[in-house]
């Protein structure tokens, strides 16, 4: 079967750096995506890694190690508006993405 | 460009009743997906349309769920009869991305509560 593991909750303070990890076990792997969802809102695309290494987009970076079946999302200079749920998702080769259970990030003042 | 819209945003029904959820994808997006999230769990795939055809319905839980996509535009997901375990948030997403990322644009979801 397919499984993606990520922590259920993370708490950090404004201005800090937080890392959300994701390990995956899937039957196929083409790449790892991250989505952000604010309460009551639509999940929105943040980043995609197909190759090993770090991808940076502003305050957010995403990392992938295919050999370790592991990736993470790094959020820097945390702001209150970053409080949300973050989902990792794998493209297994089917068109539909396989999602994890999400990590709820609480940013405190 | 208008996003993905879903209706209703929230529905409360009793066990045994029928509910129909609607999704309007982004115009021109051939791929349409239905997902469901039960409290605290993963966003679980239900099915995938390409235009009006069901490409993959391997995630549909049972035959109480029926999805259609008329003319390759909007889609409906009907649950009949609803059971308690059907409660959750039903997300629709659309995509026209042929790259490996397959970026999905989601709607805000339809929250279904079955009492």
How does pLDDT run across B76-105, given as a tens digit for each residue? 999 999 999 999 999 999 998 777 778 999
Give yes or no for A23 touching B (CB within 8 A).
no
In terms of CA atoms, which chain B residue is nearest residue A94? B56
How far apart are the C-alpha atoms of B75 and B21, rounded to whole Å? 8
In terms of CA atoms, which chain B residue is nearest residue A46? B103
How far apart are the C-alpha atoms of B49 and B69, rounded to whole Å? 7
pLDDT the model gives residue B39: 86
pLDDT at B6 over 70: yes
CB contact under 8 A, B108 and A42: yes
In terms of CA atoms, which chain A residue is nearest residue B89? A40
Give yes or no for B26 touching A (CB within 8 A).
no
pLDDT at A92 over 80: yes
Buried b (16+ CB within 10 A) or exposed e, A24-43: bebeebbbbbbbbbeeeebb
How does pLDDT run across A29-87, given as a tens digit for each residue? 999 999 999 999 999 999 999 999 999 989 999 999 999 999 999 999 999 999 999 99
Distance from CA of B106 to the nearest CA of A (A): 5
pLDDT the model gives residue B25: 96
Most A CBs within 10 A among B100, B107, B109, B111, hence the mutation to make, goes to B100
CB contact under 8 A, A42 and B59: no
């Amino acid at each position: 079967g397919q499984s993606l593991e990520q922590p259920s909750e993370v708490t950090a303070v404004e201005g800090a750096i937080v890392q959300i990890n994701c390990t995956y076990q899937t039957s196929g792997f083409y790449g790892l995506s991250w989505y952000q969802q604010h309460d009551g809102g639509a999940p929105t695309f943040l980043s995609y890694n197909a190759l090993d290494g770090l991808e940076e987009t502003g305050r957010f970076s995403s990392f992938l190690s295919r050999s370790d079946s592991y990736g993470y999302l790094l959020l820097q200079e945390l702001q209150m508006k970053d409080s949300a749920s973050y989902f990792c998702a794998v493209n297994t080769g089917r068109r539909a993405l396989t999602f994890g259970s999400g990590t709820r990030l609480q940013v405190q003042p | 460009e208008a996003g993905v819209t879903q209706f209703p945003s929230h529905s409360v029904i009793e066990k045994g009743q029928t509910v129909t959820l609607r999704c309007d994808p982004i115009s021109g997006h051939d791929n349409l997906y239905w997902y469901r999230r039960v409290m605290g769990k993963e966003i679980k795939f239900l099915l995938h349309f390409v235009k009006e055809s069901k490409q993959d319905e391997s995630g549909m839980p049972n035959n109480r769920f029926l999805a259609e996509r008329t003319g390759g535009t909007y889609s409906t997901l009907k649950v009949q009869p609803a059971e308690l375990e059907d409660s959750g948030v039903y997300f629709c997403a659309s995509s026209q991305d042929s790259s490996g990322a397959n970026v999905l644009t989601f709607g805000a979801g339809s929250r279904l509560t079955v009492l």
